[in-house]
Amino acid sequence: MDRTAFRELLIRYSNNTATAEEKALIDHWYELLYNNKLPALKQSELDNIEQEMWAHIEKAGNLSGPFTVYRSIKRKRLYYFAAAAVIIGLVISGWLVFFHSAKTFSYEISRRQNKLSESVNATTTPQRIDLEDGSYILLKPASKIAYAQHFGANKREVYLEGEAFFQVAKDATRPFYVYTNELVTKVLGTSFDVRAFSHDDTIQVMVHTGKVTVYKRKNGATEQELAKANATIITPNQQILFNRQLASFTRSVTIQPQVINTADNTDSKQFVFTDTPASEVLMMLQRSYGIPIIFDEELMSHCSFTGAFTNESFFERISLVCKAIEATYEQADGQVIVTGSNCEKINRLTKIHDK
């Protein structure tokens, strides 16, 4: 039932021309909304609201009037439904506007309007797509991507529905854009994953190398510029999750961070420590993985770590260091925050106890 039909039903109810089923339906709605109890308002307030709602209905519904305002419980009940009709109508209208905006950015509409080529992966393995600029895409199963055979002079654009890995050739003069229904991912030259299936509640962007800018996709030029100004930047081993229902971003560390500094990765000596200040160990991990690690450098310089890293994951290595120095860590906004005890004080007390 749309807003017009709802209003006409209320009019029939007020004129006592509604059918028995329609009257029963309105009475049932009233019981669900208010449990047969009117809100505690003064009579003057009830009268004012009643008059205003009837004036609104008379105007919106092109009713001939004026109406006689009754003060029976049934008539008071009616103005509450009139108010509900207006509120529901506004909510529905708002959702229609939002939904229409979202549909404006559908994959199919974008592909057809821009007359783009399309690749669809109907297999069970990733499909490689080479682009003219030297970039390539690994299109995952059940995914499709649309793109121009020849990119423009100022930018490179592709449209994705599903999941893909992008290895983008660096070109500072032509940014690379990946459009999903709600988001824009912009890079100059980097490698990253985007997951944006239409049936998922979230969109995920995960960076392997380089730097990626992510922002909401908007209709108007002013709104789009504002969205760009509020863009979120993610770096290697960070990811963005966009909640479609809440239209909100969450930045975090990826589940399995990978070493990005190849020098640290190939030199096994870099992962062997003997009475090494914990601050140096944490800085080495930050440099190796590119993940910001926040800690008190002065405090951690008095804590020492002895050990060797072999095949542990990033979080296992952080845990080993924290356990050795009696510290804890947590994740927040794509960073790792290490909080530790005062090792200098502990060492001093230990020496006094040994004496």
Confidence at residue 96, expressed as pLDDT on a 0 to 100 scale: 45
Q: What residue ranges of the chain are covered by domains with CATH 2.60.120.1440?
A: 108-253
Q: What residue ranges of the chain are covered by domains with CATH 3.55.50.30?
A: 262-354
- Mean per-residue pLDDT for 285-298? 94
pLDDT at 262 over 80: no
Q: How confident is the model at residue 167 (pLDDT cuts 50, 70, 90)?
A: very high
Whether CATH 3.55.50.30 fits 262-354? yes
* Contact predicate 273/308, CB 8 Å: yes
With residues binned 3-state (H G I as helix, E B as strand, rest as coil), the percentages for the chain, rounded to 5, are 40, 25, 35
* Contact predicate 179/160, CB 8 Å: yes
The 10s digit of each residue's pLDDT in 77-98 is 555 555 555 555 544 444 444 4
Torsion of CA 339, 205, 235, 149, to 10 degrees: 180
Whether CATH 2.60.120.1440 fits 108-253? yes
DSSP 343: H
Confidence at residue 100, expressed as pLDDT on a 0 to 100 scale: 43
- What one-character-per-residue DSSP string does 299-331 give? HHTT-EEEEE-SS--HHHHHHHHHHHTT-EEEE
Identify the bridge partners of residue 121 per DSSP, sorted by sequence position: 143
The 10s digit of each residue's pLDDT in 293-346 is 999 999 999 999 999 999 999 999 999 999 999 999 999 999 999 998 777 654
d(CA 1, CA 350) in angstroms, rounded, equals 77
The 10s digit of each residue's pLDDT in 97-114 is 444 444 457 899 889 988
Average pLDDT, the chain: 79
